[in-house]
Each structure stands twice: as structure tokens, then as C-alpha cells.
Amino acid sequence: MDTVLFIIFAIVAIVAGFNVVLQRHPISSALSLVGVMGSLAVLYLLLGAEFMAMAQMIVYGGAVMVLFIFVIMLLNAGAEKPSSKAWFAQIAGLPLLLAFIATLGFLIYSALPGLRAVEFGSWTMGTAEEIGKLLFTQYLLPFEVISVLILIAILGAVVLALKEID
């Protein structure tokens, strides 16, 4: 059952991911990205990270992507015309992409020794309780630093918006 769900949603994630790039219209791309987020949330859920899955849906699937779509709708962006590609991109694009992915995969594989097959449901540390404990003990400093960073970003947005109004 878990394996079947994993295969279904992995395929959905990959197809939607390709769709983000292939679609001509920004709204279609943005909604494909929502599809990627949603299927990733299901994959998290399968691995036992229930809190992460819900946070993924609330923050990325909900807030962030709604804002994207809001902006696209507000600007009333139309479908893009495919631009003529450079000859270098046409010839070397696909091989270079494959080489890049292969290098990345090799680096990740060699950096993380002792990888073994995933067993669905064996990991039970993904509850809100466990994540909260870790956030407020072991990872307290990064957590606070990120909070300050987000605060700075908000203040920056306010300053920029005020400049626009004046």
C-alpha cells in the first residue's frame, strides 16, 4: 500500500515538476508547482513526517503559492511566446543538464555514507512534539536567527512599500 502510494505520488511530483517548466502560461506553471508541493507533502506523510507534511501544505501550498497566483492574476500576465534559443543551448543543453544531475547525485551519494532502503512507517520522530523539542533545544540558535532574518525581510518590504507610496 505504502509503495503504491509512493510510486503514484512520486510520478505526480515529477510530472508536475516538468510541467512547471514546460507550460507557457504563468498560472499553469504556478499551479503545477502547487501540485509538486502537494505530492511532496504526501511523500513526507508516507515517511512519517506528519508535521512537516502539514507545514508544507499550509506554508508552501497555501500561503506562498496563493501569493504567487495573486500577483500573476493582479499583473494579468499572459502566455509567453517561446523565444528563439541560442545554438549553444540547443546543442549542449540536454547533455550538460544530464551531466549536472549525475554530478549532483554522485556528490550526494558519496557525502552520505551508509544509505539503505527506506522502510515506510519505521521512523516516528516526525510528530509536532518531537520537532518542537528539537527546535527549542538543539536547534534554538538557527531557529532564532531565521526568525530575525524573516523580521528583517518584513521590515524591508514595509520600507520598500512606503517608498512607493510617497
Partner 1 sequence: MTFFIVTLIKIVIVFAVFMTTLAYLQWIERKVLAHIQSRTGPLRVGPHGLMQPLADVFKLLTKEDVFPPFVNRFFYLLAPFIAVCLALITISIVPFGPEIEVAGVRTYMQIGDVHVGILLVLAITAVSVYGVALAGWSSNNKYSLLGGLRSSAQMISYELPLSLAIVSPLLLANQLSFRAISDSQAGYYLGFIPRWNIFQAPFPQIFAFIIFLIAAFAETNRIPFDLPEAENELVAGFHTEYSSMKFACFFMAEYANIVNITCVATLLFLGAWHPLFPAPYSNWVAPLVLLLAALSCFAQAAQPRRKNDQYTFPLFGVVFLVLTAIFVVAALEIVPVLSTILLSIFWFLAKVGLLIFAFIWVRGTLPRFRYDQLMHFAWTFLFPVSLLNLLITGLLVALFPERI
Q: Which is nearer to partner 1, 67 or 99 (CB)?
A: 67
Residue 80 cell numbers, joined: 509567453
- Shortest separation between residue 73's beta carbon and partner 1, angstroms: 5
Question: With binding defined as CB under 8 A, does residue 34 bind partner 1?
Answer: yes
Contacting residue, 7, 22, 58, 107, with partner 1 by CB under 8 A: 58
Q: Does 73 bind partner 1 (CB under 8 A)?
A: yes
Contact 68, 30 (CB under 8 A): yes
Residue with Cβ nearer partner 1 (36 or 53): 53
Whose CA is closest to 101, among 11, 38, 30, 17?
Answer: 17
Only segment of 1-9, 59-67, 105-113, 149-157 that touches partner 1 (CB under 8 A): 59-67
Task: Return the number of the residue (4 or 74) whose C-beta is nearest partner 1.
Answer: 74
CB atoms within 10 A of CB 42: 19
- Binder to partner 1 among 7, 22, 66, 158 (CB under 8 A)? 66
Sign of CA dihedral 74, 78, 80, 81: negative
| 2 closest CA partner among 102, 82, 122 | 122
Closest CA to 69 of 80, 61, 81, 57: 61
Backbone angles phi and psi of 16, in degrees to 5: -65, -35
131 forms part of the interface with partner 1 (CB under 8 A): no
Q: Which residues bind partner 1 (CB under 8 A)?
A: 27, 31, 34, 38, 41, 50-51, 53-55, 57-58, 61-63, 66-67, 69-70, 73-74, 76, 127-128
